[in-house]
Structure formats: C-alpha cells, structure tokens
Amino acid sequence: MQEALRHKSFGGFLTVHDHDSAVTNCTMRFAVYTPPQAADGPVPVLWYLSGLTCTWQNVNEKSGIHRHAAEHGMMVVFPDTSPRGEGVADDDAYDLGQGAGFYLTATEDPWARHFRMDRYIAEELPALVADRFPAADMNRQGIFGHSMGGHGALTLHLKHPERYRSVSAFAPIVAPSKVPWGQKAFAAYLGADRSAWQAYDATELVARQRSKAHILIDQGAADQFLAEQLRPELFAEACRHAGQQLTLNMRDGYDHSYYFVGTFLGEHFAHHAGTLDR
C-alpha cells in the first residue's frame, strides 16, 4: 500500500492510498479520514459509499464530512465506486462500467474479472484497514452512503448486520430490480436470471431477514431521480411488513446533490454515534 495524498483537516488527517487488489485484479485507490481522537486510542469506523460517477474525492471536497467525523471521533473509510484503469472493462454510459460498480460481484463477461466491489469492501479492504490503521476499532463499524452508495450500504448491512452495526443512507436506490438504473446494471453484471438480482436488492433482502439496527434514510422530495430511480416507498413498505425499524425523512425542497447530503450529514453521524459509542 502506498500513500498518495495527505491533508490535515479539523485536527485529523485525510490520507489517500493506492494498493494492488487481489479481489478486483487492479490497483485500487481509497481514502481514510482519521480523527484527532485516534491519537488517544481506538475509534469507531464508518464506511462511506459514494454514488454513480464518484470517487473517494467527491464527498470529501463537497460535503464538510470531516467536521462531523472530528466532532464524533469517528474514522471514515471512502472506497472507490468501481475498479478502474487500463484493461478494466468500461462503457460509454455513466451508469455502467468504471464509476458504476453497484457494489456487487459480477458474474458476466467482460465484467466478472474486475467488478467485485462487495467482496472488495466486505473482505479485502477491511483487512487492509485493520492492519494499517491501528486506531480503527473494527468491533465498532457502521456503513452509510449516497444514491448507488446508499444501495451498497443497505445491502451490505443487511448481509452483514453484526459487522455493520449501524446503517444510514442518502437518497438510496432501494429497489434496483424495479428501476432502470438497477435493471441495466444487473442485466449486464449478473445476467438475465432475475433470481440472482435479489441478493443485491435491499427491498428483497429486508423482506427475507430484518436486522436489529434502526435504519435511517434521508430523501430529497425535489430529487430529480425520486419517482423513476429511487422509489423509497417500496423499501418502506417492505420494512413495515418485515417489522424492520426505519426512519424515512422526506426533505422538502432538497434534490440529489451534495448540498442535500451536506445539510443532513450531522444527523447521520449522530445516528451512527448512538450505536457505535456504546
């Protein structure tokens, strides 16, 4: 692992790292914000998963996330949204290929060799963080994300509820099997058999097995993708039937942007702290 960048921020440090991944078969870049409290001992770890077209960089530069992480004494890990580089399959569209990994393990060519983002985030990257960041308390992990990253956060939590003890999302794709973004990506990455899609669909997963966590979702009511791509009402209904604790906040006037994310980040950190500080 090689450190590529380092910036001091709110008393802590944002560091950016490159490493060769055995899971994605390419060089991966990720970032870590280490809060000032890490100088005194282990701190909780939050995983932030970004949305379509993003990298580790967007939320770090546009949302003010370091202030909240420093206030609550939480380390935040920012994986990339997909494998990248020469030789990695790609597509001209923004919603498929590099930048659009959808936090799954692809089974179809040409994607299967590199696009294994759920395994990368759940298996390889945590081992690297635990080894290289001694202040990371891996017994206190939470996960959150935005849009495609919200989809990833919900599905990874529902598959690993004991690991990711807290979970939240901003404008997540909650039912990818039923919306154009998800249907396009799933057909390409996973093939035509829709039964394989269910393992990466939060609405399907929560219907099978609720978690003990209280899920927090914030959704902009003026989000341009709300009606066609996001459809939070489907997840809310599945949670109601499953007995899953859910708070879904519809935020009047807010869209899909980082202005929206930045506005409510503090509430999400407080939500995670309520579980991880115990």
Predicted confidence (pLDDT) per residue in 180-237, tens digit: 999 999 999 999 999 999 999 999 999 999 999 999 999 999 999 999 999 999 999 9
Name the residue type at position 260.
F
User: CA of 18: how far to CAs of 1, 216, 236, 242, in Å?
Assistant: 6, 32, 38, 41
Class of domain 2-277: alpha beta
Question: What average pLDDT does the structure give for the chain?
Answer: 97
Please state the three-class secondary structure of 3-51 as a single string.
Answer: EEEEEEECCEEEEEEEEEECCCCEEEEEEEEECHHHHHCCEEEEEEECC
Confidence (pLDDT) at 277: 85
Residue 257 φ then ψ, to 5°:
-85, 180
Q: Where are the alpha helices (DSSP H) in the chain?
A: 57-62, 65-72, 117-119, 125-132, 148-159, 180-190, 202-208, 232-242, 258-276
State how far the Cα of 207 lies from the Cα of 217, in Å rounded to an integer: 17
Residue 62, class by beta-carbon neighbours within 10 Å (0-12 exposed, 13-18 middle, 19+ buried)?
Answer: middle
Residues making up the chain, counted from first to last: 278
143 phi/psi in degrees, rounded to 5: -145, 140
Separation of alpha carbons 182 and 153, rounded Å: 15
Q: pLDDT (tens digit, 9 = 90+) per residue, 72-102?
A: 999 999 999 999 999 999 999 999 999 999 9
SS percent in the chain: helix, strand, coil, step 5: 40, 25, 35
Q: Among all residues, which ones are annotated catalytic?
A: 147, 223, 256
The pLDDT value recorded for residue 66 is 98
The pair of three-digit structure tokens given for residue 64, joined into one six-digit string: 């003010």
Whether 1 has a pLDDT exceeding 90, the answer reads no
Compute the average pLDDT of residues 261-276: 97
Q: What pLDDT is attached to residue 278?
A: 74
Mean pLDDT of 253-273: 98
Instruction: Kindly state the percentage of the chain with pLDDT values over 90.
Output: 99
Percent of the chain at pLDDT exceeding 70: 100
The rounded distance, in Å, linking the Cα atoms of 258 and 270 is 19
